[in-house]
Amino acid sequence: MKFVPASAPPDAMTLQSKWYTSPDIFAREAERIFSRRWICVGRTEQLGAIGDFFLAEIAGESIIVTRDETGGIRAFFNVCRHRGTRLALTPAGCFKSSIQCPYHAWTYSLTGELRAARNMEKEPHFDKADYSLHGVVVATFEGFIFITLAPDPQPFEEAFAPLLGRFSRWNIAGLGSGHRTDYDLDCNWKLVFLNYSECYHCPLIHPQLEKLSPSDSGRNDLFEGSFLGGYSELRTPEASLTTSGHRGRPPLGTVDGEDLARVYYYTIFPSMLLSLHADYVMVHYVTPIGPNKTKVVCEWLFEPSEIARPDFDPMDAVDFWDLTNRQDWRINELTQLGVSSRAYTPGPYTEQEGLLHAFDRYYMSVMES
């Protein structure tokens, strides 16, 4: 893989205000992006037992993600086939052995088939086989669960071909969750992606990050399309992006050599930011709520053997990034206020913002297709 510095053409400009503020464009995004693309909704470990489930919100739809009787992962629209009532009412839980509607007790298997429909046995034209739950296509990658609302989606292995095997050194599928934090942001989801993709702002906004990782050290190997990113260097191989500035845990998987002094950052359009550190992995799950509202869940992943230690404490990594996140969210919200002004006009991207221009190009190609 060849890594190069960010690069933007001299005429590269930011997008017009409407792309961050318009309800009509937000509705188009739901249809053209979030209803068609593979969306990361969580980790397989959230479904540790048969019947475990959680709900995901995508493009205004409530989706049940659960583990069936065979151990497979399934996803269904959270809609009863009788009168459309919501089936699962809590964000997460465990179905005992079936999924039952709270209204009239129509009951479904964990694989979605209708098992029981009260008082329908004598209806001559009723066949339970015609009323299974509406399914949603599921794929797993590195322990993450992806789903798509598209009725005929691009195969996952084809869509994610540039990433398959790329992160094997970190053994992400074998990691466990050490901590999760939820954030509610008053900004457009695209500003979160754009901010993540440049460190032009780091010396001013993140002095604690600049101290450990030079803002001009970024190099990229994915710079076109739905996956963008590369690495930034640490000032020493012993450093880690933690409150102490040092790596207090063994490296993950087979991470060694120059990767001990790098942090890899990738955007996975349109729902995920993946940060690969030598001793932990951090992921941001990004969910648009409105043109100027976004939910972000940040999760820190560690080796299970570290999590099992009596003295395990993830807060050196969590606190470092919670501070960094909140610094980013604040400046993203200020940007949202600015691009909402009648005085805003597109401005020029700097050389360090080449991935932002690449994101804009790809986003516009999808929206205009």
Q: The tokens of 116 are what?
A: 């029981």
Cα 339 to Cα 236: distance, rounded to the nearest angstrom: 38
Of 176, 120, 129, whose CA–CA distance to 304 is shortest? 176
Chain centre to alpha carbon of residue 72: 21
Give me the amino acid identity at 191: L
**DSSP run (H or E) holding 189:** helix 189-196
pLDDT of residue 196: 98
Measured between alpha carbons, how far is 131 from 133 in angstroms, rounded to an integer?
Answer: 6
- The one-character DSSP state at 153 is P
Report residues of the chain scoring pLDDT below 70. none
User: Cβ(19)–Cβ(25) under 8 Å?
Assistant: yes
Whole-angstrom Cα distance, residue 340 to residue 227?
Answer: 28
Predicted pLDDT of residue 67: 98
Predicted pLDDT at 2: 86
Quick check: 108 and 99 in contact, CB under 8 A?
yes
Q: Which residue(s) pair with 290 in the sheet?
A: 293
The set of residues, in sequence order, having a beta carbon less than 8 Å from that of 122 and lying 6+ positions away, is none
The type of residue at 369 is S
Contact 201, 226 (CB under 8 A): no
Confidence (pLDDT) at 16: 98
C-alpha 359/C-alpha 336 separation (Å) is 18
Q: Cα–Cα distance between 226 and 263 in angstroms, integer?
A: 20
Question: What domains are defined for the chain?
Answer: 18-35+168-367 (3.90.380.10), 39-157 (2.102.10.10)
Confidence at residue 369, expressed as pLDDT on a 0 to 100 scale: 83
Neighbouring C-beta atoms of residue 14, cutoff 10 Å: 20
pLDDT at 122: 84
Q: What is the predicted pLDDT for the residue at 222? A: 96
Please report the pLDDT score of residue 286 as a whole number. Answer: 98
Query: What pairing do the DSSP bridges indicate for beta strands 107-108 and 114-116?
Result: antiparallel
